[in-house]
Structure 1
Amino acid sequence: MRDGRVNRAIQQGKARTTDIKTRVPELRERVPELRERVPELTDQLKNRGSELRTKGVELRTKGVELRTHGSELARQYAKMDVSWARCSYAKAARAALLSLGLGPMIDYYVRKRVVGGEVFDTLSHPVVFVANHSSHLDTPTILRALPRKWRSRTAVAAAADYFYNKRWKANGVALLFNTVPLGRMGGGLGSGATDHVDRLIDDGWNLVMFPEGTRSRDGKIGKVRSGAAVIAAQHGIDVVPIYLSGTHEAMPPGQNWPQRKPGRFFSRRHKVEVRFGDPIRPRAVDNPRDVMDRVRAFWDRKGLAPVPAPAPDPAPRSEPALAAKVVLEPDPGRFRPVAPPAPPAAPMPERSGTTAA
């Protein structure tokens, strides 16, 4: 059976060799034709290269136009800032709404717990708070977790294309949460795009930012941008990370009002937790990505402290050292006086078994 397969393989190889030899004259005849087409193909390649270079210049020009448009749009967003929302009357109305109106309503749906509030004992205004974002409940939850004196001096960066596309909406969110517009679709932080934010920070206002730029649809943390670290480094202030949990379950994206957790007999409130991390002081020479990586690490740990590395085991002592220790240590029993042994007792005389008559 093996010989049959070998013979068939040999025959197939001979057939292919014969076919190639038959096509050799045809290929030789096509060589002059191919040589004549070389200049034509070369010209086609040159023309194609010129077209690609022209296309590249057009794309670069288009990119510059888009960046310019983004910067102009960001400057327009800065002009949308509702500055009257930070006057004394607006601050009083906002405090009343959060404490007496919106706050009790939110407490019906969630049970809030704040961890790490002692960080405010050593902090000073202003700072940049950076938090993960998965719900419209995040902003009121953070503001209500801040101490009163911090809450009254804290503004919230809001997406200008979402909250400031209509004047009534811009006035409402500015009055209720003290928002400031920021672009999230390009434009960067220069060219006057953050002049209104710079003025706020220079006046001692804190800023809450959501570096993801949008709410997470599945509750997982998305791509983190570096704008918060850049702003903090420019002003020489701290970045305070915040980790939020439970808000996505209470009010996920697409839902206009929070809901209670269904139970077997009665509905229950969602557990919402706000964890404040240790402040991070970015320097102008630091890479903003490195600063945000530290914030991301805090979020990945769910706001928990890093687990310390286990202490190394002490090096075991060698057997000679142990032996030397045993030999060199004196035995206190060797120097203890010993009493002489007692003399043996005299034998008792035997009594006779007879009595006198």
Structure 2
Amino acid sequence: MQKVEVQLGQRSYPIDINTGFTALPASLASARQVVIVSNPTVAPLYLAQVSALFSHPCHHMLIEDGEAFKTLNSFESIMSFLLEKGMSRDVLLVALGGGVIGDLTGFVAACFQRGVRFLQIPTTLLSQVDSSVGGKTAVNHPLGKNMIGAFKQPEHVVISTVTLNTLPEREFAAGMAEVVKYALLGDAQFLDWLIQHRELICQQHPETLAQMICHCCQMKADIVSRDETEQGDRALLNLGHTFGHAIEAFMGYGNWLHGEAVAVGMVMAAELSAHRGWLSEPQVNIVRSVLQSFGLPVAMPDQMQIADFLPFMKTDKKVKDGQMRFVLLPALGSAKLFADVTEAELLQVFS
């Protein structure tokens, strides 16, 4: 097992990374009220194994699979389930699934009776390296992604790399977008490591995957420990996301996977950085080639023009005082947040 600690004082918690489902601490395993939230894809594979980690019988509820179901309607259905089952403030909610399940369950945990405990058991690569760590929870709105939510840290994150064995190839690739993101925003040596280990990663070599996931979790844990509620450094984790969220919303949630949209968003951020004289064209090509080597798209959808991005960018969570803000790359392995990008500049670079 590899372990990472998210240091947040009294709300600190561990991330356990293993090849199987390991025993839980007694404080979690002995919970008398446990509700596992999952989806019809994951539950047949892992629900029984996860239920066996607890001393008492578990309730479970399934939400349809996909970003299109990360909505207030799904949030309300989980709330209704908890109330109908007579759950109290002592309930432990367990998110068993990818980022959609984790975000939904965490948001419910933040709101049900003003806050209850929850456990993250992420089953996709994207959720293991990113969304399960750090306490961001939310649902989508037709006018913007993740616009309704709360910060709610889990009690524990349990990552089993065995779940990646049943992950569709497209979903695995989507997770790699977030992995590459960490390298681009803060660790050029990690970018070299990814390039050198590409074949082992694509073959899903267990030890290589565990090392990769651990490195990403440690990077995110360090950032979250410094800036839990995104007042500073944590905003850098949004590299590619301003463009990416616009793609997801425009194309309809679920038609493009989050990681696919973020991959294109990172290429666009790199191109904008090159326009400003920070990256060379060969460096932009490195970003493209690394993403393509993991099976990710690198060009905006044919249906979109840059003008289509603007309405979504203007309602993005990173907008401040009416000004759009973008995470850009002064160098590969170094990111900064900029608030001086204009519509005219975007139109010039991408039209």
Higher relative contact order (CA 8 A, sep 6+): 1
TM-score, reference length from structure 1: 0.28
- Which of 1 and 2 has greater Rg? 1
Higher normalized strand content (fraction of residues): 2
TM-score normalised by L of structure 2: 0.28
